[in-house]
A and B are shown apart, each in its own frame.
Chain A
């Protein structure tokens, strides 16, 4: 049935380049509706054009009240009835396709799925890998590593306003509502970095609230997870030690946590393994030293309205802090 393909799109944030069973099922239904509606559009408007593009008439002819041509009327009545009947049949085809797809998506629920928790914040994503042993719990932000070919059971909610969790290459979106717990199963079959973005208007920085699903082999994933479960590395150079002091004595510590230190606040993203992430500020900037420095000094000029305040640090303090943060692999 995949002859029904629509012209696909390249890209890592499009539903028409599916990399998981969820998006693939949906693409099938999409193609079905696409081809049916295309055909209907062409036929209906062709009918319209034929009806209109005949000889021209004048407004002067006043129609006779009842002088309609009975054979023509009968033929027209039959044509309209037939068109309505075809419409109903096509609607049922699309409806059944829709139910089948919904069922296929529902059937993905698997007991041995990997659990991951997602929490929406204004304007970033908190990611948690739960574990029965507390010291193995992993917390990170905006970058969701998953093993390829393994079903993932996401459960999530919002810490403030409504957000919507959506990575179109993998599957359809799901709203995270405060007061409700969303549970859904996704699976990625193709290694790569698949981008997602908040899809429910959530305020000033709705535009800059993206995340990445990093799909890698089971071995790579296991290695990543065990590294993330570790506490932060203790600073080994004098500069990094001074940087840690800067962190602990400035506003940073009020919102961020670094496991293995006394910084334990949960208002902002967990920074224990900050340097291992590819982007900062929910996908707004690549995670380079320069960007990080600019972000720390004045996040408001980069992402106006975000919760990160400007920080008045001297040049050496900033260098020390960056040196420390760079060690948090």
Chain B
């Protein structure tokens, strides 16, 4: 039996059909209304992540539209200053915490990584469900507060003392701080799942040097999440303590320190940018490989540059704080580090261009998005040079130049690859192709609309327009540029609308995709589209970096796993040699209940410090229910362990 056969032929033998039915019976998701909350399969949860994060993307995009309308005219009164401050804070916080990281890291990795490493489900599937519910509850809380005129209004960074108890009245900053708690717990959980999935559940033969670049990107991001998030855990918790318990961490009049907050925040905040665009570059590597019809050029160098990006990302947070008056020796160090990050990024870009130059380029919609990524992202990277150098940073920091820069980096580095990813993996996820002409149309509208919206921001920033202003005076020379920017929004709006229409239409009438419409090389294409709940009928083995391209004519498959329980194969971290069998947990309502209890505790702590103390009781009860041992599963484990020890 060979894996490529599964990919290309739909005819199953009688034996295979029996196996498929049995696997479906074991791995199927529970049905019905309550069943919806019990689901634990990574494709189910991954799809929910994608849809939820996209809804938050649309919401934040609509907020941006309102801001562009307000800024289209000087001294306009479409939004009051209070509303505008809420809008830009909600826009930034939503894009960063509820769209970019959940979409680029959590959604993409939860859906794709287990498929790409060739296993049946993600490690810790119940934790995965729990993390999704926490994320969505946090997002709902944030928007309910916004609708009650308690929307966060201190910026996505919430600097003290503006967000502290003295100047941030009401509960707005508290909701912001707890949103951080929700999303960080969720992201940390997914990081653990991804690391374990990648290091323990890879298909036999997928040694470290054969892991797809996409998976490398996601696992590096997972490690970065684990090191970066504690910074913002600390800062947002200390902020909440200052606000609700009367601690004085950030109160300068009694020895607190406002700069401490900034250091903690940017320790997380700068790597955050890389959390968002490393998955984007991982997507670009995947698309470029498939549509250049060759193995990626410089695999080892690409992986090493991803790793070094992950390291250097932690050494340059201070470039967000140059204007605070850092000693000159520290400034030099952080300038050097900020410029150094251009080297691994440059290496990646050169490798992709080399792949295309030596490959056989096929221009389909995903590839167009990847090419758009180059035009936009490279510009964003180069304008970053002005921010890395202390003297020039002092002139452009906190102006619209920076707004332009990070939209080029983040939309270029995340949204362009994301839309490419949507076109690339839609056939796998739904079994149908998206429309190619509509895809091209939305690409060109987005590409032009993006540049019309954001390029003039460089100029208006250099003409002195600061960020986060709800209006500006006529006669500053900013009006025309702002109006051009606002008109670009219309094109972006059209483009995303056409994309949504394309998805809606293709879900019903799209061309049937088949298992591998792009003739791609990674393992997710070695199963039916959409994948069954057991992912692969025959668990694959791997013979090269692009599993399907490099498969031997008689590539073996994994046999010997029990088909009566949710059994998976574990392999060793480095060489992916099989070393055991493990049973994954079955669907359960407890993760959902635990997420509800956790949500109650988090929201309660906005109003009283006792929220966590009292709230931990229901959390503990639901956790006990979650981990309550079942006799059958325990017996099976014992049997398995005896067998493994032999």
Contacts and interface: CB of A to CB of B under 8 A. Distances in A.
A14 B463 contact: yes
B504 interface: no
A290 interface: no
Interface string B470-499: 111000110000000000000000000000
A65 B299 CA distance: 14
B398 A164 contact: yes
Given A33-B389, A201-B162, A48 B397 contact: no
A63 B549 contact: yes
A238 B94 CA distance: 60
B470 A23 contact: no
Contacts of B518: 59
A94 interface: yes
Contacts of A60: 519
B85 A204 contact: yes
Interface in B388-411: 388-399
A102 B331 contact: yes
B386 interface: yes
A272 to B, nearest CB: 27
Given A73-B358, A204-B85, A98 B390 contact: yes
Contacts of A162: 159, 161-162, 258
A168 B378 CA distance: 27
Contact of A199 (B256, B257, B398, B519): B398
B548 to A, nearest CB: 8
Given A56-B363, A199-B399, A80 B391 contact: no
A95 B350 CA distance: 22
A29 B485 CA distance: 28
A312 B544 CA distance: 82
Given A84-B346, A199-B466, A204-B81, A62 B386 contact: no
Given A162-B159, A162-B162, A175-B324, A84 B464 contact: no
Given A45-B378, A180-B325, A201-B155, A15 B395 contact: yes
Interface residues of A, number: 88
Interface string B333-368: 001100110110011011101101110111110000
Given A91-B340, A94-B385, A102-B332, A84 B350 contact: yes
B469 A25 contact: no
Nearest to B467: A201
Given A13-B463, A80-B354, A175-B325, A95 B361 contact: no
A106 B328 contact: yes
A173 interface: yes
Contact of A305 (B82, B252, B469): B82
Contacts of A175: 323-325
A26 B392 contact: yes
Nearest to B390: A102
Interface string B428-468: 00000000000000000000000000000000001110111
A54 B258 contact: no
B392 A30 contact: yes
Contacts of A45: 374-375, 378
Contacts of A61: 293, 360, 519
A163 B349 CA distance: 39
B82 A304 contact: yes
A215 interface: no
A304 B424 CA distance: 49
Contacts of B463: 9, 11, 13-14
A174 interface: yes
B82 A76 contact: no
B82 A102 contact: no
Interface string A48-86: 101110101111111101001100110011011001100
A207 B388 CA distance: 26
A88 B389 contact: no
Contacts of B234: none
Given A62-B549, A175-B323, A16 B462 contact: yes
7 contacts: A44-B353, A48-B371, A69-B358, A73-B358, A77-B298, A80-B350, A80-B351
Given A33-B389, A95-B336, A206-B470, 14 more contacts: A9-B462, A15-B462, A59-B291, A69-B358, A73-B358, A80-B298, A87-B342, A178-B161, A178-B258, A179-B252, A197-B466, A201-B155, A201-B467, A207-B472
